[in-house]
Each structure stands twice: as C-alpha cells, then as structure tokens.
Amino acid sequence: DAGVTQSPTHLIKTRGQHVTLRCSPISGHKSVSWYQQVLGQGPQFIFQYYEKEERGRGNFPDRFSARQFPNYSSELNVNALLLGDSALYLCASRRDNSGANVLTFGAGSRLTVL
Amino acid sequence: AQSVTQPDIHITVSEGASLELRCNYSYGATPYLFWYVQSPGQGLQLLLKYFSGDTLVQGIKGFEAEFKRSQSSFNLRKPSVHWSDAAEYFCAVGPRGGGFKTIFGAGTRLFVKA
C-alpha cells in the first residue's frame, strides 16, 4: 500500500511569491494534518482537515491556508513568502478524527525561500 | 499551556551501550503519548505509543518507553544501541477523545560512535 505522498519534494521560491504543496493520504484515511518543521526544531501544527472541513488551526498567519478535496487529498498554500517560511512541510494522515489513530507522515516538502 | 520538553538537544552513545532519551510534558489531562524517529531528509516514523494500561510499552526496533504519571514523563529506552539508530527522536502528545493537535518536542539528536 502506498503511504502518504507529498509533492514537490524540494522547491525554491523567492520572497513574496506563492507556493502550493500537495498531499495524498493513505487510502481510507479521511484526516490530513499539516506541520511545519524548521531546521533544528520539532514539527509545529498548522492545520487539520477531516471530511473536507477544517477542524483545527495552529498559530500561523492568514498567509497560510489549506483545503481538502473530495478524494481526501489536500493542498497547503502559503502567500507572500518570507525567509522564515523556509522549512520542511510535513503532511500526515490518519483514518478519522480520533486521537487513538496515530499520524502517518509523508517524507515532506522542503521549501527554501531566498 | 500544553508543551513537551526534551531536555537533551543531542546525545552521543557508543554502539552496544544503553540509551535513555528523556521527555516531560505539560498537559491538562493525561494525553496520548508517542515517540517518533526521523532520519535525515525523511518524514517521521512512529516508534511506539501509549494510550492506557501497562505503563511500559514496547515499540519497533527494540525500543521501549515508560509512562510515569507522577512525573509527567515518557522516557524512551533501548538496551543496546546500533549504529543505524543514529537519528532524531521526537516525543509527542495528543488529545484523548478526539482532537486535532499533536504537540511535538524539539527533538533529541542521537549520535552513535563505533
């Protein structure tokens, strides 16, 4: 079975640009979460979507947005990129909204903002 | 405030030696507890989890962790470290009864010397 897949794996942008990151969850998983991992730190929660609705949002500015599609895949969008947005963006899926279902992570999208 | 503290930024052990990585958490109630491992350039892989019951839990790759409620701790241990265990280890907590936000510690980087 395919795991959580993310694209692109690496990308370079300049300040002020926009970026879209994509995530396909494990088949049968209806919940997708996004995390930002800055170098040397632990992952920080950005969003969670379940059944195509936003169920939680972390402490990130409105420049960050996301959505979940009918097939449960998800996009993370970041507008007006700043140097500080350079990070590994991780997507994780789980079967439903229960905390007892553990997160399965993708390999991440490495974003570099110049 | 909810938080996870991993007091050791990095640890170096000799191959074959025992290992203990510390984790303390601050949470309103006993959360679900997790340990994840991240190899360079990779996503996070679940090592083990604690939901309830026996406070000593076994995980993959020979790892175990012990939950101590009185100390709000969930330390990770391995009796004999292998060179392939060199990686970054993250302790995390998640809400019971459903919810969306898993909180991660800042991580402990493990170095293994021959």
Structure tokens that stand for B16 in this block: 């074959």
Q: What is the pLDDT of residue A100?
A: 66
Contact between chains at B96 and A45 (C-beta distance less than 8 A): no
H or E element at residue A11 = strand A10-13
Whether the CB of B62 is below 8 Å from some CB of chain A: the reply is no
Contact between chains at B100 and A4 (C-beta distance less than 8 A): no
Whether the per-residue pLDDT at B2 is higher than 70: the answer is yes
The answer to whether B32 and B25 have CB atoms below 8 angstroms apart is no
Report pLDDT digits (tens) over B37-83: 999 878 899 999 998 889 999 999 999 999 999 999 999 999 999 99
Report pLDDT digits (tens) over A23-51: 999 999 999 999 999 998 999 999 999 99
B112 three-class SS: strand
Kindly write down the DSSP assignment for every residue of B12-67, as one continuous string.
EEETTS-EEE--EEE-SS--EEEEEEE-TT--EEEEEEE-SS-SEEE-GGG-EEEE
Give B64's strand partners: B58, B77
Q: What is the pLDDT of residue B31?
A: 87
Contact between chains at A99 and B95 (C-beta distance less than 8 A): yes
Chain B residue numbers with beta carbons less than 8 Å from the beta carbon of A55 are: 100
Residue with tokens 């007892």: A100
Q: What is the pLDDT of residue A31?
A: 92
Q: What is the pLDDT of residue A6?
A: 97
Structure tokens that stand for B41 in this block: 């350039």
Calculate the CA A34 to chain-centre distance.
Answer: 3
Q: What is the pLDDT of residue B60?
A: 95
Calculate the CA A41 to chain-centre distance.
Answer: 16
Residue with tokens 């993708």: A106
Q: What is the pLDDT of residue B98?
A: 58
**Could you say which DSSP state residue A99 is in?**
T
Whether the CB of B19 is below 8 Å from some CB of chain A: the reply is no
Q: What is the pLDDT of residue A37?
A: 95
Q: What is the pLDDT of residue A1?
A: 63
Give the separation between CA A77 and CA A74, rounded to whole angstroms: 10
Amino acid occupying residue A53: E
Q: What is the pLDDT of residue B33?
A: 93
Report pLDDT digits (tens) over B4-40: 999 999 999 999 999 999 999 998 788 899 999 999 8
Q: What is the pLDDT of residue B29?
A: 80
Of the two residues B28 and B113, the one the predictor is more confident about is: B113
B106 three-class SS: coil
Chain A residue numbers with beta carbons less than 8 Å from the beta carbon of B107 are: 40-42
> What are the mean pLDDT values of chain A's consecutive 10-residue runs (114 residues total)?
91 98 95 94 93 92 97 97 97 80 91 98
Report pLDDT digits (tens) over B76-111: 999 999 999 999 999 999 887 656 788 999 999 999
